[in-house]
């Protein structure tokens, strides 16, 4: 029975497509009976001193049980999202003395219904003294510095020997992750003083640690449960002030509390992603050899230090992308601004790195009048150069970039596309074509390289239970982990239960982010299964009255037998029930290192010369994430990633006005992508296994985004013959077409 690599449909889907999932707001639990509903009063000011808050009128509103401000809190601020960050840079639970972005929680209302809480919020009066604004946004002053990075070669002599040096500037605009389920939490303290906390999150154990730190709790007195999670895309990594306040209010008033945000609140206060500006300089020779590269990054970290301040670390790690460039240097400054904090968003730091180098390569190709594919081909890291250490010190595990590019050229029929482009140009066709290519390599499983897994065969119940430290929110881990267990144990997938997201059920875990789950959590499942088979063999041998060296597991049937005697078998359930046991299990903590998936994407855009309307008419993606466990889910992950990549290139972007007021706080103003804007994708998979883990797998959850943004940007710039900032809206494209490019005014 070979299950791994098969196109197995997701076991999760029948429930999602029929009864629907159980998200935090759907959770029914006796502990939550008689709960209050919370609503937050949020800052209307980007940066202001709080002169006074008057809650008296709100307290008198029907159904209101309590109103709290920072003065009432008897716990500390949010702990730093990464231990290395200065706690002074962390967000407060409720704004104290000042506010630093529009949407920052200032007060919380607890009422008998959500409607009552929302209505009462109108009666809270906050007296603000606005601060002078331009002292904060990208002021460049050291007092606004959240973090800084510097890697690679010295600047002096970086471009020595380069007879061609090109520069370009890029914007990687702020993005809103827009999970369909907005943030939500529900908290109850039981009679024994134990906190039960339901929250829509990607890393429940990180939330648990945050709650322990803030409330000074023993690990046994907190239970965190992430039920079904309706998407995360990065910013649901860990605690937010609102969910901590939900637990705090529940404790303070002695009643369970629930909180769910509206879409508008989510667009304002759920952390954004990206927010980088780049200046790139690429040097080489006029015959097409790339020699030196400089990447200078400004990261808008937002109002408090979140994962966004760390995103440049992922960008500089991937500075030189897929190219064998001898000298490189990257610097980054993450600056605070009076805007929503910036966190991780699909790809976090790597679409930015790919976008920068891939744009620079195109600009260089144009400067020396060489086909961009040809320039890439001449400079790719050779397939026999792995493990490959880049000039900034990153070690790529495995890769075959030339193969990815060759496959792309073949599958997309690149030459035919260029011919069609020429034909349209010659004919003066008002629907011009742009062809953009991006060859990418990205890093997955950054952060702690470990994950927890337990596999137990329950002989009495005839079930296998997998407990995993990963916490899926759309990635199909139930299917994938049960495929791994089924393959290795020989027990049908339908007999495997996968438990995750509940800290009482799974004692530890790091959660799901950085496309880490298959390679770390999946490998933990494999490691536990392998250990379990080794544990079972002596038991089976005793039952078969044979020497253990002669006994094998037939993993096509899930039975043990003596070599050469397949007719006399002992099944798993019998082995697990042997003696006084009811179950046989193994627990493991798998440790592994980062891996570097790669690929090549090609986008064809069609632009209406008269209106600037820009459509992606073809998207070909060749991706290599090492060994693929489930091609259906992997393709689904690519589809989602490509959609978000196209959205970033053409449509979506968070906008603040010059005063720091957010202008994109709903799905009318924020042009969230839909299927209607997307072409059918052409996917082509290649597999170069990694030695970094026993599955040979790399991550694929973010690859689509990493390649697609750059490919589409390059396609539009190819069509226009000039540089234009993303999102490449019809207005921007039209301005570029009509010589009114905002960049050059």
The contact set with ligand MCN (CB under 6 A) reads: 179, 231-234, 346, 473-477, 480, 512-518, 625-630, 633-634, 637, 640, 697-702
> Would strands 551-554 and 388-389 be described as parallel, antiparallel, or unpaired?
unpaired
What is the smallest separation between the CB atom of 255 and ligand MCN, expressed in angstroms? 32
What is the smallest separation between the CB atom of 698 and ligand MCN, expressed in angstroms? 6
State which residue, 447 or 730, has the beta carbon closest to ligand MCN.
447
What is the smallest separation between the CB atom of 69 and ligand MCN, expressed in angstroms? 33
Nearest 5°: the CA angle 184, 185, 191 is: 165
Q: How many helices (H) and strands (E) does the chain have?
A: 17, 28
What is the smallest separation between the CB atom of 518 and ligand MCN, expressed in angstroms? 4
State which residue, 348 or 614, has the beta carbon closest to ligand MCN.
348
d(CA 741, CA 89): 38
d(CA 735, CA 115): 46
What is the smallest separation between the CB atom of 407 and ligand MCN, expressed in angstroms? 18
Residue found under tokens 């006005």:
657
What is the smallest separation between the CB atom of 483 and ligand MCN, expressed in angstroms? 8
What is the smallest separation between the CB atom of 189 and ligand MCN, expressed in angstroms? 30
Greatest alpha-carbon pair distance for the chain in Å reads: 86
State which residue, 210 or 699, has the beta carbon closest to ligand MCN.
699
721 touches 466 (CB < 8 A)? no
What is the smallest separation between the CB atom of 411 and ligand MCN, expressed in angstroms? 20
Residue nearest to ligand MCN according to CB distances in the complex: 474
State which residue, 407 or 725, has the beta carbon closest to ligand MCN.
407
Angle between helix 703-720 and helix 350-368 axes, rounded to 10 deg: 30
The upper half-sphere exposure of residue 666, i.e. CA atoms within 13 Å in the direction of its Cβ, equals 3
State which residue, 616 or 625, has the beta carbon closest to ligand MCN.
625
Cα 458 from chain centroid? 35
Closest by CA position to 670, among listed 101, 272, 350: 272
Distance separating the N- and C-terminal Cα atoms of the chain: 65
What is the smallest separation between the CB atom of 27 and ligand MCN, expressed in angstroms? 19
State which residue, 331 or 443, has the beta carbon closest to ligand MCN.
443
647 touches 470 (CB < 8 A)? no
What is the smallest separation between the CB atom of 475 and ligand MCN, expressed in angstroms? 4
What is the smallest separation between the CB atom of 638 and ligand MCN, expressed in angstroms? 9
State which residue, 327 or 473, has the beta carbon closest to ligand MCN.
473
Residue 580, judged by CB atoms within 10 A of its CB (0-12, 13-18, 19+), counts as exposed
Helices (H), 151-284: 204-215, 241-253, 263-269
d(CA 644, CA 636): 12
Residue found under tokens 């933990």:
524
- CA dihedral (570, 573, 578, 584) in degrees, to 10, reads 120
What is the smallest separation between the CB atom of 602 and ligand MCN, expressed in angstroms? 22
- CA dihedral (499, 503, 507, 511) in degrees, to 10, reads 70
State which residue, 197 or 236, has the beta carbon closest to ligand MCN.
236
State which residue, 153 or 687, has the beta carbon closest to ligand MCN.
687
State which residue, 17 or 115, has the beta carbon closest to ligand MCN.
17
What residues contact residue 553 under an 8 Å CB cut-off, 6+ apart? 489, 490, 533, 536, 537, 540, 559, 560
d(CA 567, CA 50): 80
State which residue, 702 or 725, has the beta carbon closest to ligand MCN.
702
State which residue, 283 or 476, has the beta carbon closest to ligand MCN.
476
State which residue, 89 or 450, has the beta carbon closest to ligand MCN.
450
What is the smallest separation between the CB atom of 101 and ligand MCN, expressed in angstroms? 23
3-state secondary structure 112-145: CCHHHHHHHHCCCEEEEEECCHHHCCCCCCHHHE
Q: State the CB neighbour count (10 A cutoff) for residue 57.
A: 14
Q: What is the DSSP letter of 273?
A: B
State which residue, 558 or 592, has the beta carbon closest to ligand MCN.
592
State which residue, 183 or 473, has the beta carbon closest to ligand MCN.
473
What is the smallest separation between the CB atom of 660 and ligand MCN, expressed in angstroms? 27
d(CA 571, CA 559): 4
State which residue, 502 or 608, has the beta carbon closest to ligand MCN.
502
178 touches 188 (CB < 8 A)? no
State which residue, 355 or 474, has the beta carbon closest to ligand MCN.
474
Q: Return the structure tokens found at 301.
A: 């970290």
What is the smallest separation between the CB atom of 10 and ligand MCN, expressed in angstroms? 8
| Buried-exposed string 615-633: b where 16+ CB fall within 10 A, e elsewhere | bbebbbbbbbbbbbbbeeb
Cα 70 from chain centroid? 31
The upper half-sphere exposure of residue 621, i.e. CA atoms within 13 Å in the direction of its Cβ, equals 34
What is the smallest separation between the CB atom of 36 and ligand MCN, expressed in angstroms? 29
d(CA 503, CA 685): 36
Residue found under tokens 């940007």:
713
205 touches 510 (CB < 8 A)? yes
What is the smallest separation between the CB atom of 447 and ligand MCN, expressed in angstroms? 11
> Would strands 614-624 and 681-685 be described as parallel, antiparallel, or unpaired?
parallel
Closest by CA position to 276, among listed 149, 394, 445: 149
What is the smallest separation between the CB atom of 181 and ligand MCN, expressed in angstroms? 10
State which residue, 12 or 606, has the beta carbon closest to ligand MCN.
12
């Amino acid at each position: 029975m070979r299950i791994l690599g098969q196109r197995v449909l997701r076991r999760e889907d029948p429930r999602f497509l029929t009864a629907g999932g159980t998200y935090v707001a759907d959770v029914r639990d006796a502990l939550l009976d008689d709960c209050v509903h919370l609503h937050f009063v949020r800052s209307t000011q980007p940066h202001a001193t709080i002169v006074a808050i008057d809650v008296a009128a709100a307290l008198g509103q029907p159904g209101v049980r309590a109103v709290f401000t920072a003065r009432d809190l008897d716990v500390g601020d949010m702990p730093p999202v990464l231990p290395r960050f200065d706690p002074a840079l962390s967000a407060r639970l409720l704004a104290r003395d000042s506010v630093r972005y529009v949407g920052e929680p200032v007060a919380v209302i607890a009422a008998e219904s959500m409607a009552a809480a929302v209505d009462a919020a109108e009666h809270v009066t906050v007296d603000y003294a606005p601060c002078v604004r331009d002292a904060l946004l990208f002021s460049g002053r050291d007092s606004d510095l959240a973090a800084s990075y510097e890697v690679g070669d010295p600047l002096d002599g970086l471009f020595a020997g380069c007879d061609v040096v090109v520069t370009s500037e890029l914007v990687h605009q702020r993005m809103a992750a827009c999970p369909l389920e907005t943030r939500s939490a529900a908290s109850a303290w039981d009679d024994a003083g134990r906190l039960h906390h339901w929250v829509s999150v990607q890393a429940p154990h990180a939330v648990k640690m945050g709650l322990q730190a803030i409330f000074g709790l023993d690990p046994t007195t907190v239970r965190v449960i992430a039920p079904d999670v309706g998407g995360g895309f990065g910013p649901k990594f860990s605690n937010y002030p609102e969910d901590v306040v939900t637990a705090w209010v529940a404790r303070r008033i002695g009643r369970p509390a629930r909180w769910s945000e509206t879409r508008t609140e989510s667009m304002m206060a759920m952390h954004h992603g990206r927010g980088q500006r780049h200046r790139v300089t690429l040097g080489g020779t006029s015959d097409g050899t790339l020699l030196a590269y400089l990447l200078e990054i400004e990261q808008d970290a937002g109002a408090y230090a979140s994962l966004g301040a760390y995103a440049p670390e992922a960008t500089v790690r991937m500075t030189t992308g897929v190219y064998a460039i001898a000298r490189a240097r990257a610097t980054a400054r993450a600056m605070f601004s009076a805007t929503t904090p910036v966190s991780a968003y699909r790809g976090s730091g790597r679409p930015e790195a790919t976008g920068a180098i891939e744009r620079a390569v195109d600009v260089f190709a144009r400067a020396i009048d060489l086909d961009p594919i040809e320039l890439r081909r001449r400079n790719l890291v050779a397939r026999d150069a792995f493990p490959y250490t880049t000039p900034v010190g990153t070690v790529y595990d495995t890769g075959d970039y030339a193969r990815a590019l060759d496959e792309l050229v073949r599958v997309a029929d690149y030459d035919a596309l260029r011919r069609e482009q020429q034909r349209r140009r010659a004919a003066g066709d008002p629907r011009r074509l742009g062809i953009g290519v991006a060859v990418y390599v990205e890093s997955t499983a950054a952060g702690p390289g470990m994950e927890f897994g337990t596999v137990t065969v329950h002989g009495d119940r005839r079930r296998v239970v997998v407990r995993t430290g990963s916490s899926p929110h759309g990635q199909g881990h139930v299917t994938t982990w049960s495929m791994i267990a089924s393959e290795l144990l020989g027990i049908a997938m339908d007999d495997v239960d996968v438990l995750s997201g509940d800290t009482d059920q799974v004692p530890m875990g790091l959660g799901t982010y950085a496309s880490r789950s298959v390679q770390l959590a999946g490998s933990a499942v494999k490691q536990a299964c392998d250990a379990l088979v080794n544990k079972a063999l002596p038991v089976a041998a005793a039952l078969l009255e044979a020497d253990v060296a002669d006994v094998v597991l037939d993993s096509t049937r899930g039975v043990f037998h003596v070599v050469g005697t397949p007719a006399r078998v002992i099944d798993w359930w019998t082995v697990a029930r042997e003696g006084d046991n009811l179950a046989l299990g193994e627990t493991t903590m798998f440790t592994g290192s980062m891996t570097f998936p790669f690929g090549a994407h090609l986008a064809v855009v069609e632009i209406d010369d008269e209106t600037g309307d820009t459509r992606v008419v073809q998207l070909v993606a060749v991706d290599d994430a090492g060994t693929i466990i489930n091609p259906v889910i992997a393709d689904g992950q690519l589809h989602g990633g490509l959609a978000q990549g196209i959205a970033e290139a053409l449509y979506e972007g968070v906008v603040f006005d010059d005063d720091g007021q957010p202008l994109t706080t709903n799905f009318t103003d924020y042009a969230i992508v839909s299927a209607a804007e997307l072409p059918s994708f052409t996917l082509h998979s290649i597999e170069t296994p990694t030695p970094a883990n026993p599955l040979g797998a790399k991550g694929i959850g973010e690859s689509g985004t990493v390649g697609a943004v750059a490919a589409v940007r390059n396609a539009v710039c190819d069509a226009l013959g000039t540089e234009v900032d993303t999102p490449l809206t019809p207005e921007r494209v039209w301005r570029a077409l009509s010589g009114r490019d905002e960049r050059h005014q």
